[in-house]
Amino acid sequence: EAQVTQNPRYLITVTGKKLTVTCSQNMNHEYMSWYRQDPGLGLRQIYYSMNVEVTDKGDVPEGYKVSRKEKRNFPLILESPSPNQTSLYFCASSLRGGGYTGELFFGEGSRLTVL
Amino acid sequence: GENVEQHPSTLSVQEGDSAVIKCTYSDSASNYFPWYKQELGKRPQLIIDIRSNVGEKKDQRIAVTLNKTAKHFSLHITETQPEDSAVYFCAAWSGANNLFFGTGTRLTVIP
């Protein structure tokens, strides 16, 4: 089954404790992206990747890191989480960037709470 | 970069009526405009899309229109049903090869 898998789905952590949210897709997609969703603000892009070893900042990259060492994986790293990073996070992938192939597939989301 | 604005932020309609959600974008190089539906507690899912060389597209009760000159596009849902209740996001693939979302419209269909 074609899918984007995120883990963990739910996480409560404390300020400053490094964490990683994993994202994996099994569709051989080149484009992957991370979004955070907050009430009234919609989906804001954190980082995106056009292909392996190619990453770039989105609208709200501060406090986050990413890597794209393999095509299927695109982990989101919070080196020192703070309460303002409490949010619902979505990973997504598409065959290519630029809208050539249409659909962006989303993972199920990871709800992160930073105390 | 691209800026996508979406209106209204909330919309309530009676079952059977039509609903219209409007978006504007800023980057004239944007070439692809998808719409996503997000039900409560679920992930966003694509419901319809339109490319910049097309003015209108329909899929059963859902249609999208695009006015490139004015840089706006709209989602039209006819004969609304309670299961249409959700948050709807418009988006635009910019000339910088990236996807920008509007802030969402919460649609409530009243039975």
Q: Is the pLDDT of residue B97 over 80?
A: no
Residue with tokens 């709470």: A113
pLDDT in tens, A73-87: 999 999 999 999 999
pLDDT range class, residue B40, cuts 50, 70, 90: very high
Q: Does B79 touch chain A (CB under 8 A)?
A: no
Judge: B34–A43 Cβ closer than 8 Å, yes or no: no
The answer to whether B49 and B34 have CB atoms below 8 angstroms apart is yes
Q: What pLDDT score was predicted for residue A44? A: 92
Q: What pLDDT score was predicted for residue B96? A: 65
Please indicate whether residue B96 or residue B10 has the higher confidence score (pLDDT): B10
Q: Does B105 touch chain A (CB under 8 A)?
A: no
- The strand pair at B62-67 and A110-114 is best described as unpaired
Q: Is the pLDDT of residue B42 over 60?
A: yes
User: Smallest Cα–Cα separation from A88: which of A38, A46, A16?
Assistant: A38
For B39, name the nearest residue in chain A, comparing CA atoms only. Answer: A108
Q: What pLDDT score was predicted for residue B53? A: 83
Judge: A97–B45 Cβ closer than 8 Å, yes or no: no
Q: Does B3 touch chain A (CB under 8 A)?
A: no
Query: Phi/psi class of residue A42: alpha, beta or left (left: φ > 0; alpha: ψ in -120 to 50)?
Result: left
Which tokens sit at B11?
A: 């919309």
Contacts of A102 in chain B (CB under 8 A): 32, 34, 46, 49
Q: Does B67 touch chain A (CB under 8 A)?
A: no
Minimum distance, in Å, between the CA of residue A50 and any CA atom of chain B? 9
Contacts of B46 in chain A (CB under 8 A): 102-104
Q: Which of B31, B98, B104 is opposite residue A42, by nearest beta carbon?
A: B104
Which tokens sit at B57?
A: 């597209």
Cβ neighbors of B19 (< 8 A, separation 6 or more) are B11, B13, B75, B76, B77, B80, B84, B107, B109
How confident is the prediction along chain A (115 residues), in pLDDT tens digits per residue?
Answer: 889 999 999 999 999 999 999 999 999 999 999 999 998 888 999 999 999 999 999 989 999 999 999 999 999 999 999 999 999 999 999 987 765 556 889 999 999 999 9
What kind and span of H or E run contains A65? strand A65-66
Q: What pLDDT score was predicted for residue A100? A: 59
Phi and psi at A84, nearest 5°, equal -75, 0
Q: Does B101 touch chain A (CB under 8 A)?
A: yes
Residue with tokens 């804001």: A44
Q: Is the pLDDT of residue B90 over 60?
A: yes
Q: What pLDDT score was predicted for residue B99? A: 83
